[in-house]
Amino acid sequence: MITSPAHARRLTRFLRLLPAIFFTVIVAAFSVLSNRFLSLQNFTNILLQAAHLAVMAVGMTFVLLVAGVDLSVGATMYVAAVSLGLYLSAFPAWLCLLIAIAIGVAFGAVNAFFVVKLRVAPFIVTLATLFVGRGVGLYLSDTRMVLAGSAVSDFAHESSLGVPAPVFVAAVSLAVAFVLLRLTPFGRYVYAIGGDREGARKTGINVEKVTFAVYCLCGAFAAVGGFISLSQAAAAPSTFGERKEFLVIAAAVLGGTSLFGGHGGLLGPVFGAILIQTVQNGLVMIDADPYIYPLITAAIIFIAVLVDSLRAGAIARLERRRIRAEEQETRAEEQETLAST
C-alpha cells in the first residue's frame, strides 16, 4: 500500500521504466540463447517487422486517450488487404495506400457512429465489428489466400531517402500523429476528454465530434498497418490480422498509454511495438515451440494491463493528495484572511 506521495512518485517512475527494463532483460536473454540475435541485420529485421504494429499502436493511442477501445483493428487491416489484393492489384502502391486509408476511415466511422450517436459501449461495438469485418473479408476472399499486386509486393523492398519503405511510411504516420496530438487544439481536446469527459464538455469542447474523429483515425492507421503488412508478406491468408488487436493494445499500454484515458504519448507505443516484435523475433531465433507463442503473448498482455493498473492507481493517489493539499492551503488562506479582518 502506498503511504506517501514520495512512494507513489517512486512507483510511478519505476512503472514508466519497467518496459525499458523488460526490453533490456529480453535482449540479454535472447543474446545468450542465440548467437544470431545480437546483430545489426536482425535488429533491422525487427524494425521492419514492427513497422505495421507500431503504426496501428499509434492509431490505437488516440482511442485509448479518450478512454475508448477499438477491437476491430485486425479485421480492418484484413479487409483493406483483401480489397487491395482482389480489386486493386494493377494500381500503383501510393494509390493503394490512399484507398486502404479510405477503407480504414470507413470502418472507423461505423464504429464511431454506434459509439457516439447510439451511445453503445465501445467494447461491444468494436467486438461486433471485429467479427463483421472478419466475415466480410472471408466472404470477399472466399476464405482463400489473396495475393498482393506486384506494385504493393515490391513496395516492401524499396527505400526512400535511404530508409526502407515500410519504416518510412511508419515514420510519416508517426509524424502526422505527432502534429495532430501535440501541435493542434484537437490533441488538447483528446487529452481533456480522456481526463474528464464531462469537464471537457462544460468547457465547450465538442466531445462527440472529437470522439468520432479518433475512431476514424484509428481505422485509418489500422489500414496503413494492413498495407505495410501485405507488402511485406505479399499475400493475405484467412488468418491475416487475426488477434492483432490484442498486440496493438498491449503495445500502446506498454508504451505508457493508459486504458483509463487521459495519459499517454506517441513514442511509447512505437517502443511497445518494437518490444513485442523483439520477443516474437527472439522466439523464432531460438527455435521455440510454436505452441508457447500464445502463452508468451498472453503474458505480455497481462504485464501491460498490470503495469497500467498499478500506474493508474499511483497517479490517482498522487492527484488525491494534491487536491487535499490544495484544499488545506485554501482553508489556511481563508482563515488568515478572516483573522486579519
Q: What is the pLDDT of residue 315?
A: 62
CATH number of 5-333: 1.10.3470
- DSSP H/E element including 147: strand 146-147
Confidence of residue 122 (pLDDT cuts 50, 70, 90): very high
Distance CA 59, CA 81 (A): 17
pLDDT of 295 above 90: no
Q: pLDDT tens digits, residue range 242-274?
A: 989 989 998 998 888 888 888 888 888 998 899
Least confident of 133-142, 216-225, 299-308, 310-319: 310-319
Q: pLDDT tens digits, residue range 13-24?
A: 776 777 788 888
Q: What is the pLDDT of residue 1?
A: 46
Residue in 238, 52, 75 with CA at minimum distance from that of residue 146: 238
Confidence of residue 177 (pLDDT cuts 50, 70, 90): very high
Instruction: Answer left, alpha or beta for residue 318, where phi above 0 means left and psi between -120 and 50 means alpha.
Output: alpha
Query: Measuring CA to CA, how many Å separate 242 from each of 139, 217, 277, 331?
Result: 16, 20, 16, 56
What is the residue extent of each domain of the chain? 5-333
Q: What is the pLDDT of residue 2?
A: 47
Mean pLDDT of 327-331: 53
Q: pLDDT tens digits, residue range 192-218?
A: 999 889 999 999 999 999 999 999 999
SS3 assignment, position 194? helix
Specify the pTM: 0.86
Q: pLDDT tens digits, residue range 216-230?
A: 999 999 999 999 999
